[in-house]
Structure 1
Amino acid sequence: MVSKTVEVIRDWRDLPASQRGAAVAVGAFDGVHRGHQAVIASARAAAQRLGAPLAVVSFDPHPRRLFQPEAAPFRLMTADQMVRAMAPLGVDRLYLIPFDREMAGMTDEEFARRVLSEGLGVAHAAVGFDFTFGKGRSGSPEALRTYGQELGFTVSVTDRIDDVSGLKLSSSAVREALKAGDMDRAAAILGCPFAIQGEVIHGDKRGRTIGVPTANIAMGDYMRPAYGVYATRTRLPDGRVVNGVANLGVRPMFEIEQPLLEVWLLDFNESLYGQTLETELIAFLRGEMKFDGLDALKVQIEADAAAARAVLG
């Protein structure tokens, strides 16, 4: 399917007729993994049947951020990455609805009536088998189906899908794989490598002194994969993809407070400050280590680069 431009709509109230009436997939969709893609495919089938646009309804911030403001960072992707992941799936619109106190206080019936029916005017709602909604997560897929019958939209429920190898296709399973440094398992669930996107910021420039200039990216609200060294592929703003080796973490030798992704782009020598890069973590090479000095660190970095080149071919 050809990628298209996804229209992003950040409210559910007072929308013009041109932004209503879609067949929608509803959920958090963090990661847009293969399980999420199955729910979107169900909405796509309904959109084709009904002659309606295909849309996704998600929330920003993620509901967990409102209910657990002190929770450790856990996101698998930014809103920008979500939009780009949905484009090849044929999605016309992404409703990124503000998850605020008003939304959190709605009963399941209110959410179905006020948001889906009156606000978005949905023609169809596709959800996953474990979808919950409304205050206290009281609403179920069965309840949504009942509300849909009353309010005039159809509902489809996608059963749990596991990979043929028995892999659970869920965001929590992706997070478990990333914590374990199992990038192959994370990519198998996501359908593509896990990637961190962010602006290149100024670091302490120590890498330059040993001939290893790095592009440094703050981790922000991304969940923290296993700290250590990775073989990477980085997409530049102009579309070029450059192989690299990256340290992700707090660098035990020159400790920093907040974890950074520090990418050494191999065979590359251009300034990237202020540019937004997206770096795929292809393979976990080793954990973070402390070294006896800069010479020992340099020897290890060269070994890491060789290992990354071997992995990346």
Structure 2
Amino acid sequence: MSVANPAEFSVVSDLDAFPDRLKGGVVAIGNFDGVHRGHRAVLQAALAEGRKDGVPVFAMTFEPHPRTVFNPDNPVFRLTPRDQKADILRACGLDGVLILPFTREFAGIEASDFVGDILIDRLRISHAVTGYDFHFGKARAGTPDFLRASGQTHGFGVTIVQAEQDEAEETISSSRIRECLANGELTLANGLLGYRWFVDAEVRHGDKRGRDLGYPTANLQLDPHCPLKHGIYAVRVRTSKGVFDGVANYGRRPTFDNGAPLLEVYLFDFKGDLYGETLRVHLVSFLRSEEKFETIDALIAQMDRDSEEARAALASLRPISPVDLTLFEFDR
């Protein structure tokens, strides 16, 4: 995929504010949580149509996840919250993204009204691209066949993209990637995503225990529903002072307080503090599970080994896709 000019990428959450420059374009519609390789097959099809017809290409997505709206007691963990999703869509080469608020009222819109009022009257689309399993409108009546028929009636093209499979011929899905993260299968998760998964979080004050151990860390609190396996990770981190490699622990610190889960990041070759700053942490490889140590000396010795292993893992990285190359900042 080509990379769009970031200055021309539009993030819109209000239909009334949808820019004229994107009207008449090709829309790729879906939740796109993770913007994984299966989603990018939809985006590639949309980009191909846009290039062929010389019109803009944008994504339409929804926040929060529909399953969270209908089952708020069991919210869906977002692999890529709104801002992260927009960054990845930008890296994919799109011209913009329309992020529509998903509510029960929105879910009750008749499928025919979704097509007529939104796709045609508001957006004036020339072509729609969706995945094989995307449904929309009241009672999920907007099936792929319904969308095809609507396109024939109203004069816009429709492309339905079939499931994308990995090298083992298994379907790529957001739920499968969440399971990989929970199981410590980070290499597989990153392979299915087509880029190194990352989180954005603000640095908070902690108990400063890492300084006493010779490993001062930036403490980050992740989404409480984050399924990431507790353990040690090799990471690359974007800060206001540059991009740094490092090693991180995600877990409850069983050697000390066994408290609430935190992502504690130690940056190699960094001096200073980052309190109040939002860091972007790319998780590169899973090194080991979190464990409790009998002595502080044993813990420090293991941290030394973890740091050496993380440096080795980070020293030989190569991009796994053009999107990874854009997001991951290999040229530091």
In the superposition, the TM-score normalised over structure 1's length comes to 0.92
Q: Give the C-alpha shift of residue 307 in structure 1.
A: 2.0
Task: Tell me if structure 2 keeps the 8 A contact 1:59–1:97.
Answer: yes
Q: Look up the equivalent residue of 1:75 and give its one-letter code.
A: R
In the other structure, the counterpart of 2:96 is 93
Deviations 1:75-133 (A, max 9, x none): 11122222221223221110011112321211322222222222222211100111111
Q: Give the C-alpha shift of residue 72 in structure 1.
A: 4.8
Task: Tell me if structure 2 keeps the 8 A contact 1:3–1:87.
Answer: yes
In the other structure, the counterpart of 1:160 is 163
Deviations 1:140-190 (A, max 9, x none): 111111122223321101111212332422212211211111111111111
Q: Which moved more, 1:65-74 or 1:258-267?
A: 65-74
Q: Which moved more, 1:116-125 or 1:180-189?
A: 116-125
Show the 5 A alignment for 1:68-79: 68-72=71-75, 74-79=77-82
* Residue 31 of structure 1 pairs with residue 25 of structure 2: no
Q: Give the C-alpha shift of residue 263 in structure 1.
A: 0.6
**Cα gap change, 1:69/1:215 in structure 2, threshold over 3 Å: closer, same or farther?**
same
In the other structure, the counterpart of 1:230 is 233
In the other structure, the counterpart of 2:199 is 196
Task: Tell me if structure 2 keeps the 8 A contact 1:229–1:286.
Answer: yes
* Residue 111 of structure 1 pairs with residue 117 of structure 2: no
**Cα gap change, 1:72/1:301 in structure 2, threshold over 3 Å: closer, same or farther?**
farther
**3-state SS of 1:303 partner:** helix
Quote the Cα distance in structure 2 between the aligned partners of 1:13 and 1:109.
Answer: 20
* Residue 182 of structure 1 pairs with residue 185 of structure 2: yes
In the other structure, the counterpart of 1:312 is 314
Q: Give the C-alpha shift of residue 42 in structure 1.
A: 0.9
In the other structure, the counterpart of 1:262 is 264
Of 134, 138, 144 in structure 2, the residue corresponding to residue 141 of structure 1 is 144
In the other structure, the counterpart of 2:66 is 63
Q: Give the C-alpha shift of residue 225 in structure 1.
A: 1.2
**3-state SS of 2:246 partner:** strand
**3-state SS of 2:220 partner:** strand
Quote the Cα distance in structure 1 between the aligned partners of 2:296 and 2:244.
Answer: 26
Q: Look up the equivalent residue of 1:279 and give its one-letter code.
A: V
**3-state SS of 1:55 partner:** strand
In the other structure, the counterpart of 2:5 is 4
**Cα gap change, 1:155/1:70 in structure 2, threshold over 3 Å: closer, same or farther?**
same
Q: Which runs of 5+ in 1 are unaligned?
A: none
**3-state SS of 2:151 partner:** helix
**Cα gap change, 1:10/1:26 in structure 2, threshold over 3 Å: closer, same or farther?**
same
Quote the Cα distance in structure 1 between the aligned partners of 2:20 and 2:138.
Answer: 28
Task: Tell me if structure 2 keeps the 8 A contact 1:194–1:281.
Answer: yes
In the other structure, the counterpart of 1:244 is 246
In the other structure, the counterpart of 1:253 is 255
Q: Which runs of 5+ in 2 are unaligned?
A: 316-332
Q: Give the C-alpha shift of residue 58 in structure 1.
A: 0.5
Superposition CA RMSD, Å: 2.0
Quote the Cα distance in structure 1 between the aligned partners of 2:56 and 2:183.
Answer: 39
* Residue 128 of structure 1 pairs with residue 137 of structure 2: no
Q: Which moved more, 1:192-201 or 1:256-265?
A: 256-265
